[in-house]
Chains A and B, each alone.
Chain A
Amino acid sequence: MSKTEYLRLSTIALVIGLTVLVAVPSPASAQLSLLGGGTTSSTGTSATAVAVTVLGSTTMLASTGNLANATDALGAELDSASGDMGSAAVLHATAIGSGDSVASEASLGDLVLSIAGTQITATSAYATALADSTAGTSGWSSVDGLAVNGTSLVSTGEANQTINLGAITLVLNEVTQTASGITVNALHITSLDGTVDVVVASATAGQ
């Protein structure tokens, strides 16, 4: 190969390399600017239908995992789930990135739980969370047909409605807000002795 040919091929290779570098889009930003100058990471955005922790060991059912970036989309659907502690049906979770905002949601139906001798049932639970580059974070949840040992409990819709039942504590519409995101749990149950922690319909955006 002559020196001229070598230089010509090198130039062509350089041009091709630069063209590829310019043409291939970089991954969408994982950071979304929040109102007030804060930032949130899209990659913490996820949803889980049920998370059960017993003695420090956690099992998650119908969980999306985290978004890879702000233009990712993930979903998880499970027919039903049952175990020693209870059962649920139609478990659903999604996490969606729309570029400058991310959203997640989780839901399930026919919930039956037995924790520390207390039976908790619900027709349906749903939670959603949103982190937007201009509007900030928001979220809400609902639990329908909630009953404890057959007695109906009414959700007020207010954030962090706490019901202490002695052996267990229920938190409805549990909202945890940080500078970079939000987590909304439709129902969070913990046992007094600290051995059991169950989160039903959890949605996180940002974080």
Chain B
Amino acid sequence: MKNIIRNAAVSLLIGGLILVISAPAGAWPETIVYDFITGGGWFIQRPGSFSAGYRSNFGWHGGAKNGAWWGNGNYLDHGPISLHAHSIDVTGYLRIGDDTTTDPKHPTGVRDICGHAYVTYAGGSGNFWYRVRMKDAGEPGRDDKFGIALYAISPGGGIGGNVYTAWGQLNGGGNIQLHRGNNSNTGPSTYICPPAVFDDTFFFS
């Protein structure tokens, strides 16, 4: 009996430590899920964004399909940097936090899509890692939110430093839609995503 209690205590301790390591204070849990999120529209970049106060347009979609990560997207920053990003591939798709819907047919929640993008901007172009965050807060879309962060590709293909971040709310126009999964929603059990650098207070308020 003593052994059982001791083993249980050790398991709880290890479990607790793992939980602390994998979910740092302030971070929202990231979970692999197999469904879809889609959206298009525009927003004014919030304070803290690269081109705060300027308009951005986007169209993006992601998920898992037939055993692979799936998606594509476009993003255009109308600020002086005149940055345009187009997804090349998808290396991860994650649910951030918990879904919030009370209607099982119309889930609402936050998804992050990751991968590589080809980026053009005033003075240059090249490939970068990206992490896109899309929040479906319900219809018609004025409370939905979109964010994008770009990261350098380090020598060897790893994830380098964050070089660009922008986010905003679609109170101007457009919509983000989270879709239930279907039979094609099988996906990898692993993913590669750059670290999230979005303003959690903004996305989860």
Verify that A and B bind, or say they do not. Answer: yes
Mark A72-108 against chain B: 1 for CB-CB distance below 8 A, else 0.
1101111100000000011110101111010101111
Question: What residues of A have a CB within 8 angstroms of the CB of B40 in the complex?
Answer: 90, 92, 105-108, 124, 126
Q: Shortest Cβ distance from B201 into chain A, in angstroms?
A: 26
Residue numbers in A under 8 Å from B86 (CB-CB)? 77, 79
CB distance from B129 to the nearest CB of A (A): 18
A123, closest chain B residue (CB): B42
| Given A72-B184, A98-B179, also A90-B173 (CB < 8 A) | no
Q: Kindly list chain B residues whose C-beta atoms are within 8 Å of the C-beta of A135.
A: 105
User: Please, which residue of chain A has its CB at the minimum distance from the CB of B174?
Assistant: A126
Residue A32 interfacial (CB < 8 Å) = no
Q: Which among B5-13, B57-65, B93-101 touches the partner chain?
A: B57-65
Residue of B nearest to A106 (CB): B40
Q: Out of B41, B84, B140, which one reaches A107, CB within 8 Å?
A: B41
> What band does the interface of chain B fall in when counting residues whose beta carbon is under 8 Å from A?
35 or more
Cβ of A99: which chain B residues have Cβ within 8 Å of it?
180, 182-183
Q: Given A90-B40, A107-B40, A132-B105, check contact A71 B175 (CB 8 Å).
A: no
Q: Give the number of residues in A that approach B within 8 Å (Cβ atoms).
A: 38
Contacts A92-B59, A124-B173 known; 18 new A-B pairs at CB < 8 A: A73-B70, A73-B182, A76-B72, A79-B74, A92-B58, A96-B182, A99-B182, A99-B183, A107-B40, A110-B57, A124-B40, A126-B173, A126-B175, A132-B105, A135-B105, A142-B141, A142-B175, A144-B42
Question: Which chain A residues border B141 with CB–CB below 8 Å?
Answer: 126, 142
B60 proximity list for chain A (CB < 8 A): 77, 92
User: Which residues of chain B have C-beta atoms less than 8 A from A107's C-beta?
Assistant: 39-41, 59, 174
Q: Which of B65, B181, B183 has the most CB of A within 10 A?
A: B183
B55 at the interface (CB under 8 A from A): yes
CA distance A50 to B58 in the complex (A): 16
The verdict on B38 contacting chain A, using a C-beta distance below 8 Å, is: yes
Instruction: Spell out A's residues near B (CB within 8 Å).
Output: 25, 28, 70-73, 75-79, 89-92, 94, 96-99, 101, 103, 105-110, 123-124, 126, 128, 132, 135, 140, 142-144
Query: Does B108 make an interface contact (CB < 8 A)?
Result: no
Q: How far is the CB of B82 from chain A (nearest CB, A)?
A: 11
- A79 lies within 8 A of B184 (CB): no
Chain B positions 67-107 with a Cβ under 8 Å from a chain A Cβ: 70-76, 84, 86-87, 105
Q: Is the CB of A75 within 8 A of B173?
A: no
- The CB with the most chain B CB atoms within 10 A, among A25, A70, A75, A105, is that of A75
Chain B binding surface SS class: strand
Q: Please name the residue on chain B nearest to A143 by beta carbon.
A: B173
In the complex, are the beta carbons of A142 and B183 less than 8 A apart?
Answer: no
Q: Which residue of A lies closest to B57 (CB)?
A: A109
Instruction: Give min CB distance, A43 to chain B, whole Å.
Output: 14
B105 to chain A, nearest CB (A): 7
Asked whether any CB of chain A lies closer than 8 Å to the CB of B36, the reply is: yes
Contact B36 A96 (CB under 8 A): yes
Say yes or no: B42 contacts A124, CB within 8 Å: yes
Q: What distance in Å separates the Cβ of A107 from its nearest Cβ neighbour in chain B?
A: 3
Jot down 24 A-B pairs with beta carbons below 8 A, ordered by A: A72-B184, A75-B72, A77-B61, A77-B87, A79-B86, A89-B76, A90-B74, A90-B75, A92-B58, A97-B182, A98-B181, A98-B182, A101-B180, A105-B40, A109-B57, A109-B76, A110-B57, A123-B57, A124-B57, A128-B175, A140-B140, A142-B173, A143-B173, A144-B172
A168 to B199, CA, bound (A): 45
